[in-house]
Amino acid sequence: MSRSRLPPILRPRLTPRYVVSCVAAVYVVYCWLWGMPLFSSNLPAYSGPHSVGVIDIESPCDGRKTSDVKFKSTGEPAFLLETVLFSLYYPAMKGAKSDKPKHLWVPKPLSVTAEGYAKFAHISNFLTNSIFTVALWGLTGSTTIPANVDVPLRENVPTLKFTEHVEDKPEAGEENFPVIVFSHGMASSRTDYTHFCGELASRGYVVAAIEHRDGSGPGTMIMNVDGTEKPLYHFGLGDLQVDASFDTPELKQAQLDFRQAEIEETVRVLRAVNDGSGATIFEMNPRKEGEHLSSWEGKFDMTNVTIAGHSYGATGALQALKGAPCPERPFHGGLILDPGKSSGPLNHDVDVPILIVHSNSWSKKHSVFFGQPHFTVVKDLVKGVNKRGKAAWFMTSLGTSHPSVTDAPLIEPTLLSWTTGSTIDVYDGVGVYVNVTEEFMLYQKAHKRMGLLALDVTHSEYDSHDNGTQEMPQAYQRFWQIHVAPDSA
Ligand SMILES: *[C@@H]1O[C@H](CO)[C@@H](O)[C@H](O)[C@H]1NC(C)=O
Ligand SMILES: *[C@@H]1O[C@H](CO)[C@@H](O)[C@H](O)[C@H]1NC(C)=O
Ligand SMILES: *[C@@H]1O[C@H](CO)[C@@H](O)[C@H](O)[C@H]1NC(C)=O
């Protein structure tokens, strides 16, 4: 039989894509035959004093549109907010058991995420989509998130740390849970930072991890109140009806504007729950979670919310701080992790306390950012906030790499340290972020500088040779370099 009569997918073409697909396929079959797990270290339990609950909330948004750009294929608007989706992590009632199964780390249907990743890699076709689906299933298919689904919220009064250190203790029962709204990076989803979010919930914080539908993620399922659902895949300029003047920076700005609208809608939903409309939010939630929301009136501190983000999400969080605090964005603090190097300019107009943390690889790799070193831009931004009289910090977490705060290193430690050069123990990697976040939350609450945040600058520039600084208390030596702190502004 002549070669040309074979169906196209069986005709070997030695393109890099074909080779990668074959290698992936062989690896999957190999592991399957030998009964080896491909990935799948399970996610660890949370270490804080509270057990952790999680619910997925999807809520309709009155068709808010942030840009007129349309999809080529359907003519539908690309930046129309039909619903907003987030996972809410919270301190749960002690001993509460859930009758619902744990959430999967890669939400169902898996093929949406898999096809999204294939589109990302520009190799989407029937064969590669199937390979990606099988591979993703093999890699992570059975990994679940260890939070209890839809259990009651803890009664009240969170963190021990607060009561120890706050001088004017609030009246018993007056306190409510501090809220963090978290925005993910490029090629991510709401389930990529579950350990970071769950760990904070176990220490008394409520964390809303948004799933952005701006086309920057692999794939996401939009579910409407009437039960209809439709997938949205990763999209780029080529998928949009735009003229030549609409370039990549314009697309990024459109995506950031859409992300900001989703952040505001998340705040709106949380506020509705806090104002006593939890029952309605539950009824309108196509994901059918939140059966206890009706009793969560007044449980959140919606006056002082913290906005947090990683990478693209960090750029978005900075953008969301422009003009904050304001009613749509009641943010009194910003936690900015690895602010984007290619997601557009960083907003400097910030008038609330912020903490910017760079992973080691983010500081180490010199990048030119709008004509200046990225590191310098970030440093100037933080100094500017201090000049305005708001406390701001900039530091590097040693030994970490860009994905250290995500779940990826916990699920696949070896692969990640290989490909990203992180040297820190994977649990410490997330742990340093959680610890410093808690100290930052305490600062916002009590205006007290604790722990790492009480220290002064150790390295005004990042020093790649200094992997452990004697000037610091021992608990921090191996982990941190501080580039800007409030006193030194
Ligand atoms: C985080 O804080 C806890 C409690 O203070 C401490 O035991 C732990 O070692 C810290 N983790 C890291 C990685 O610094
Ligand atoms: C909210 O933030 C403001 C400004 O940072 C602060 O003065 C106030 O004490 C905070 N309120 C609560 C309840 O934490
Ligand atoms: C720094 O690295 C050197 C060699 O790589 C090692 O011997 C030393 O223990 C490290 N210091 C700290 C504080 O980790």
Distance in angstroms (rounded) separating the CA atoms of residues 397 and 404: 10
| Domains of the chain by residue range | 3-105+143-488
The class level of CATH for 3-105+143-488 reads alpha beta
Q: What are phi and psi of 359, to 5 degrees?
A: -70, 165
The atom number, within ligand 3, closest to the CA of 468 reads 13
List pLDDT tens digits, range 122-153. 555 655 555 555 666 666 667 789 999 999 99
- Residue type (1 letter), 176: N
The residues assigned a catalytic role are 311, 338, 402
Nearest alpha-carbon partner for 289 in 102, 39, 37: 102
Count CB atoms within 10 A of the CB of residue 166.
16
Instruction: Return the best residue to mutate from 435, 452, 474, 478 for the ligand 1 pocket (most ligand atoms within 8 A of CB).
Output: 435
List pLDDT tens digits, range 45-97. 999 999 999 999 999 998 889 999 999 999 999 999 999 999 999 999 998 99
CB-based contact 315:85 (threshold 8 Å): no
- Would you give the distance in Å from CA 202 to the centre of its chain? 17
Dist. CA 296 → ligand 2 center (Å): 21
What is the band of 30 on the pLDDT scale with cuts at 50, 70, 90? low
Dist. CA 418 → ligand 3 center (Å): 20
- pTM higher than 0.75 for the full model? yes
Q: Whose CA is nearest to atom 2 of ligand 1?
A: 435
List pLDDT tens digits, range 354-405. 999 999 999 999 999 999 999 999 999 999 999 999 999 999 999 999 989 9
Sign of CA dihedral 203, 270, 339, 486: negative
Angle at 264 between CA 222 and CA 283, to 5 degrees: 50
**Tokens, residue 300:** 């959140």
Dist. CA 434 → ligand 1 center (Å): 9
Q: Which ligand gives the minimal distance to the CA of 463?
A: 3
List pLDDT tens digits, range 247-297. 999 999 999 999 999 999 999 999 999 999 999 999 999 999 999 999 999
Residues having CB within 6 Å of any atom of ligand 2: 301, 303-304, 332, 445
Checking if the pLDDT of 8 tops 70, the result is no
The atom number, within ligand 1, closest to the CA of 435 reads 1
List pLDDT tens digits, range 302-319. 999 999 999 999 999 999
Q: What are phi and psi of 298, to 5 degrees?
A: 70, 15
